[in-house]
């Protein structure tokens, strides 16, 4: 199949195979490739679903951890009228 940039296609002309070729997820390219064996396509579907599930689980866990451990920050600003500044000694 010839790779065609999506910019050169209108929305009605873009086929799923062409869209999948422009994506950065290589498994999608294999899944939509009708020349690939069914076994290979099924393995890629299972792998992508598994990895997407793990990613979703990790994101949910991180959000839960963030919400369960609130961080309170108290800042106090003091304004000094005069600041004593000492010039550093010259290095010779």
pLDDT in tens, 49-83: 999 999 999 999 999 999 998 888 888 998 888 88
Residue 91 lies in a domain: no
Of the pLDDT bands very low, low, confident and very high (cuts 50, 70, 90), residue 17 is low
Rounded to the nearest 10°, the torsion over CA 4, 6, 11, 13 is 0
Residue 64: how many CA atoms within 13 Å on its side-chain side?
A: 6
Can you give the pTM of this predicted structure? 0.50
Residue 80 lies in a domain: no
Residue 43 has pLDDT above 80, yes or no: yes
Cα separation of the two ends of the chain = 72
Residue 10 lies in a domain: yes
DSSP letter (8 states) at residue 78: -
Containing domain of residue 32, as a range? 6-68
Domains held by the chain: number: 1
């Amino acid at each position: 199949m010839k790779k065609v940039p999506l910019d050169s296609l209108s929305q009605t002309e873009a086929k799923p195979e062409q869209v999948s070729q422009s994506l950065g997820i290589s498994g999608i390219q294999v899944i939509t490739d009708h020349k690939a064996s069914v076994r290979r396509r099924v393995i890629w579907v299972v792998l992508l679903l598994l990895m997407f599930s793990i990613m979703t689980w990790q994101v949910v866990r991180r959000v839960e951890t963030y919400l369960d451990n609130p961080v309170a920050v108290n800042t106090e600003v003091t304004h000094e009228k005069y600041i004593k500044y000492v010039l550093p000694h010259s290095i010779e």
